[in-house]
C-alpha cells in the first residue's frame, strides 16, 4: 500500500506531461502494467475518487474483495475493467487528485487509462462497437451529412431501434446519444474572416486565437463554437480555424 506519510497533495497548478504516444515504450505491456500497479496502489490508499465514475469503485471493490485486501492479490484481468470503464472525462485529474504533477507521485489517471486503451486497440481484439463509437471523426463526418443527420437522430430516438442497438452492440437503450447537426461548425464558418481585427498582444498572449473546434462541437453542438467565436469577436480577438483538424 502507498506510504501515506509521503506528502499530502500540492496546491500548484496541475501539469500534464506530453503524451509519448509516438514512442515504443508507450505501448509496452510490462511498462503499462507496472505503471497501472503503481498508480492503483496509490489510489487504493487515497480513495478520494470513489464516487466519480465506475472505474474507481471497480478498482476498490476488487481490492477489498481480494484475499489480502491489497492490490497484489487482485487478478490483473480486473485492471482491464477499470480501464474499460474510464470514459476519459478528466475529472479525477482536473478536480480531485492532489498528486498530479508537479507532485512527486506524478499521478495522471486519465492519461494512464488512455495509454492502456491505446495498448488495447493496438494489440488486443476490440469490439466493433468500441471501434465505431470511439472514431468520433468518422462518425461525425458520416452522420452529419445533410440527408443522413435527421435520419440518424430520429433512429437514435426510436425505441425499437435502441432495443436493437442494445441487443446487437450493447449500447444501453437509455444512454444519451449525441445529436448530429447537418451544418457543422466549420461549414457554418467558411466565411469567417477576422483580418479586419488587429490583435492586441499582452504580456502572456499574442492577442489572437486558433480554434481547435473538436469533433463534438463541430458535428454535434456547433452552436457552442458559434457562441465562443461571438465572445472573441465581441472582445476584438481575431479567431481562425486550423487548416485541418484530426483527433
Q: Under the rule (CB under 6 A), what is the footprint of ligand SF4?
A: 42-43, 46-49, 52-53, 55, 86-92, 96-97, 99, 107, 109-110, 113
Which one, 11 or 147, has the nearer CB to ligand SF4?
11
Q: Rounded to whole angstroms, how far apart are CA atoms 156 and 173?
A: 9
Contact 139, 133 (CB under 8 A): yes
Terminal CA-to-CA distance of the chain, rounded, Å? 37
Contact 98, 49 (CB under 8 A): no
Q: Rounded to whole angstroms, how far apart are CA atoms 230 and 212?
A: 15
Q: How far is the CB of 2 from ligand SF4 (least distance, A)?
A: 8
Which one, 47 or 129, has the nearer CB to ligand SF4?
47
Which one, 109 or 241, has the nearer CB to ligand SF4?
109
Which one, 97 or 217, has the nearer CB to ligand SF4?
97
Quick one: how far is CA 146 from the chain centroid? 28
Which one, 24 or 104, has the nearer CB to ligand SF4?
104
Q: How far is the CB of 3 from ligand SF4 (least distance, A)?
A: 13
Contact 171, 211 (CB under 8 A): no
Q: Per this entry, what is the length of the chain?
A: 247
Q: How far is the CB of 22 from ligand SF4 (least distance, A)?
A: 22
What DSSP character marks residue 203? S
Q: How far is the CB of 55 from ligand SF4 (least distance, A)?
A: 4
Q: How far is the CB of 231 from ligand SF4 (least distance, A)?
A: 27
Amino acid at each position: 500500500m502507498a506510504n501515506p506519510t509521503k506528502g499530502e497533495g500540492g496546491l500548484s497548478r496541475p501539469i500534464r506531461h506530453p503524451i509519448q504516444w509516438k514512442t515504443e515504450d508507450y505501448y509496452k505491456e510490462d511498462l503499462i502494467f507496472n505503471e497501472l500497479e503503481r498508480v492503483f496502489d496509490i489510489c487504493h490508499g487515497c480513495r478520494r475518487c470513489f464516487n466519480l465514475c465506475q472505474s474507481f469503485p471497480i478498482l476498490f471493490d476488487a481490492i477489498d474483495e481480494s484475499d489480502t485486501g491489497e492490490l497484489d492479490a487482485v487478478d490483473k484481468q480486473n485492471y482491464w475493467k477499470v480501464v474499460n470503464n474510464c470514459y476519459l472525462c478528466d475529472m479525477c485529474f482536473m478536480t480531485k487528485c492532489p498528486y498530479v504533477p508537479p507532485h512527486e507521485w506524478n499521478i495522471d489517471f486519465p492519461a494512464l487509462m488512455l495509454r492502456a486503451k491505446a495498448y488495447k486497440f493496438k494489440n488486443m481484439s476490440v469490439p466493433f462497437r468500441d471501434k465505431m463509437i470511439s472514431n468520433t471523426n468518422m462518425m461525425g463526418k458520416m452522420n452529419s451529412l445533410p440527408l443522413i443527420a435527421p435520419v440518424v437522430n430520429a433512429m437514435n430516438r426510436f425505441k425499437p431501434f435502441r432495443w436493437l442497438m442494445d441487443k446487437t452492440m450493447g449500447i444501453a437503450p437509455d444512454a444519451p446519444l449525441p445529436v448530429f447537426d447537418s451544418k457543422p461548425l466549420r461549414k457554418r464558418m467558411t466565411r469567417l474572416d477576422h483580418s479586419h481585427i488587429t490583435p492586441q498582444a499582452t504580456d502572456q498572449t499574442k492577442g489572437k486565437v486558433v480554434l481547435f473546434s473538436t469533433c463534438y462541437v463541430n458535428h454535434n453542438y456547433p452552436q457552442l463554437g458559434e457562441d465562443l467565436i461571438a465572445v472573441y469577436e465581441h472582445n476584438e480577438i481575431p479567431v481562425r480555424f486550423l487548416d485541418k483538424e484530426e483527433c
